Structure 1
């Protein structure tokens, strides 16, 4: 049985950049990796997961610690996907939320990933109350 190590410490800059590059999320290069790393270091809570010394997964929470909570940047290295690592990371985040008495947890997910989050108890927003966004380029 493979045992992975979870850490509440931020990964190194290089480890973070290498994992983030596997996602394609910064394809337009809107942000530098210095900016992205600064963002994760400003998070309310985060989880890193390792296979021995190899950084293989990450996610974080942005929150005021009381009312507003948003999970973002759920990443699992492609070589480790579909092995339960995303679930492990999410369960760690949700446990932290429960332990701090947060009651409303939000997230946005990539197209086609809804079923993963539904298995963890998330429901889609009511079509009559969709989320909104504003994007500056």
Structure 2
């Protein structure tokens, strides 16, 4: 397995990984355009040149960065790939001068983000802007 930072993104391949990893229908999204426009960085996990994992980091342009879309193909789960992706993303954010790395997660992912990746739980809130 090899990690690649800011690799050239194929929208079909990343959309497929995202759909499979999250157990949702595959919807083609303009990943490459969005990442180049909004992300501080992104990291991919590759096995024999096949994308098997992904994470992106967005930021406020200052000291805060945000982990989004952590995904590992189910055939490669439970092997530490997600943890390696998040660790690499954190290193990239640190190198960019960020002081804080935030992540939102569902309760079933607390062991992954808090115990495996070292995040400290905090209170947060969410406001839905569309139905």
Q: What is the TM-score of this pair, normalised by structure 2?
A: 0.84
Q: Distance in 1 between matches of 2:30 and 2:70?
A: 18
Q: Between Structure 1 and Structure 2, which shows a larger proportion of strand residues?
A: 2
Q: Quick check: which has more Rg, 1 or 2?
A: 1
Q: Distance in 1 between matches of 2:10 and 2:108?
A: 30
Q: Is the 8 A contact 2:46 2:53 kept in 1?
A: yes
Residues 60-108 of structure 1: CA distance to partner in whole angstroms, max 9, x if unpaired?
Answer: 0111331231110000000001111001101111111222221111111
For 2:18, the equivalent position in structure 1 comes to: 20
State yes or no: 1:132 paired with 2:129.
no
Q: Is the 8 A contact 2:3 2:43 kept in 1?
A: no
State yes or no: 1:33 paired with 2:31.
no
Q: Could you say what secondary structure the match of 2:107 adopts?
A: coil
For 2:83, the equivalent position in structure 1 comes to: 87
Q: Is the 8 A contact 2:46 2:52 kept in 1?
A: yes
For 2:69, the equivalent position in structure 1 comes to: 73
Structure 2: 5+ residue runs without aligned partners?
none
Q: Distance in 2 between matches of 1:49 and 1:61?
A: 15
Q: Is the 8 A contact 1:19 1:75 kept in 2?
A: yes
Match of 1:114 among 89, 110, 113: 110
Q: Between Structure 1 and Structure 2, which shows a larger proportion of helix residues?
A: 2
